Amino acid sequence: MTVNVLAAGDNFVLPGLLAAALREHVDADLDITELALDWPDVPFGPVAEVIEASGTEDAIIEALQGVRICLTQMAPITARVLDACPDLEFVAVGRGGPVNVNLEAAAKHGVAVSSAPGRNATATAEHTIALMLAAMRRIPQVHGDLAAGKWRGDYYRYDSVGLELEGRTVGLIGYGAIGNRVARIAGGFGARVAVHDPYVDPAAFAGIAEPLDLPDLLAQADVLSLHARLTPDTQGMIGAAQIAAMPQGSVLVNCARGGLVDYDAVCDALDTGRLFAAAFDVYPEEPIPAGSRLLRTEGIVMTPHLAGASRETAHNAARITAAETARFLKGEPLLHRQN
């Protein structure tokens, strides 16, 4: 029996990657329709009741007619879409959380939903280390001067040169798939790694990192890197008081969620020299507003929320969703079911 599948990719997780992974992992007769959504060329946003989606409900409804299985990263799977697509049985979302799917409505319709946690863990960890080094060695600043034709010998002045990672204490808040990788990479540079994560058994840190409570971590972290989820408890967890508790001239890195940090407090600390540098991939408001202090404060290295973006991440998303599809068709338990 032929299984109709929609591979609703975009310009990052390409429809062709989803289709190729399906053919590799699924031992069934598949009729695959490929649909290309506009993200990231057109920013994602809310669609009806779901967030961070790309495309329209009408386009997805049309594409899902007669389809049993949908693989996607950004397609809006809303209550209206589910109402209009009675053949749909399974949605595999190629991202950590299926925020583009109405999980309650999917459950009501008997549609299973899975996701792809960890798909971008390596990419985000490597990007974190890259930002860390770029901030500590002021690479964007010196590159900008050199590109403008300025050979700045004064960067060799003691008060202008950068910092080394080796021998410093790197403090991590959060020790999931990303934090664990950051710990191992930082350790490879010769840093001492300490971790605060009350949800992880300290035995998991053995040979890699030292568990500390948050006050001790803040007091000892020459570099503080955030890898926590954003919850009501972690909202704004790094503010003026926490920065004041860190060593003078320390570095703050955030590739997790913008809501974890009071960015005005960071700018204040950079202006006064309390922090040596900061590096961010995520922000309270994205894109960054034109008048934001982040755009005019010295000592900040920024990237536009792309820490998890690598070609390997796109392939991982395709592979994980295809493997989940194979399990679904065999009647096996899903590894990453969300509803």
294 and 218, same structural domain?
A: yes
**Domain count for the chain:** 2
**SS (HEC) of 31-49:** EEEEEECCCCCCCCEEECC
Coil, helix or strand at residue 270: helix
125 and 115, same structural domain?
A: no
Q: How far apart are CA 128 and CA 209, in angstroms?
A: 17
Query: What pLDDT, on the 0 to 100 scale, is given for residue 161?
Result: 95
* 335 located within any domain: no
Residue 137 annotated to the active site? no
248 and 232, same structural domain?
A: yes
Query: What pLDDT, on the 0 to 100 scale, is given for residue 139?
Result: 97
Tell me which of 24, 104, 286, 332 is the catalytic residue.
286
182 and 320, same structural domain?
A: no
* 336 located within any domain: no
57 and 69, same structural domain?
A: yes
Express each pLDDT in 220-269 by its tens digit. 999 999 999 999 999 999 999 999 999 999 999 999 999 999 999 999 99
Average pLDDT over residues 182-205: 96
265 and 162, same structural domain?
A: yes
112 and 158, same structural domain?
A: no
Q: How far apart are CA 308 and CA 119, in angstroms?
A: 8
Q: How confident is the model at residue 284 (pLDDT cuts 50, 70, 90)?
A: very high
Tell me which of 109, 305, 315, 337 is the catalytic residue.
305
Average pLDDT over the chain, rounded to an integer = 97
Query: What pLDDT, on the 0 to 100 scale, is given for residue 182?
Result: 98
Q: Per the structure block, which two tokens stand in for 183?
A: 């710990």
Rg (CA), the chain: 22
* 44 located within any domain: yes
Tell me which of 127, 257, 274, 319 is the catalytic residue.
257
**Runs of H (alpha helix) within 40-156:** 57-63, 79-84, 103-108, 121-137, 139-147
* 339 located within any domain: no
Average pLDDT over residues 55-73: 98
* 188 located within any domain: yes
pTM of the entire predicted model: 0.94
* 209 located within any domain: yes
Q: How confident is the model at residue 204 (pLDDT cuts 50, 70, 90)?
A: very high
* 239 located within any domain: yes
207 and 270, same structural domain?
A: yes
**Runs of H (alpha helix) within the chain:** 15-25, 57-63, 79-84, 103-108, 121-137, 139-147, 177-188, 214-220, 240-245, 263-272, 311-330
Average pLDDT over residues 322-338: 98
CA 199 to mean position of chain CA atoms: 19
137 and 12, same structural domain?
A: no
Q: How far apart are CA 138 and CA 163, in angstroms?
A: 9
Q: How far apart are CA 144 and CA 169, in angstroms?
A: 29
**CATH number of the domain residue 206 falls in:** 3.40.50.720
- Determine the residue type at 94: G
Q: How far apart are CA 339 and CA 324, in angstroms?
A: 14
Q: Are 329 and 139 in contact (CB under 8 A)?
A: no
174 and 111, same structural domain?
A: no
Residue 336 annotated to the active site? no
Query: What pLDDT, on the 0 to 100 scale, is given for residue 257?
Result: 96
- Determine the residue type at 51: I
238 and 264, same structural domain?
A: yes
247 and 129, same structural domain?
A: yes
Structural domain that includes position 38? 3-119+310-330
Residue 196 annotated to the active site? no
* 28 located within any domain: yes
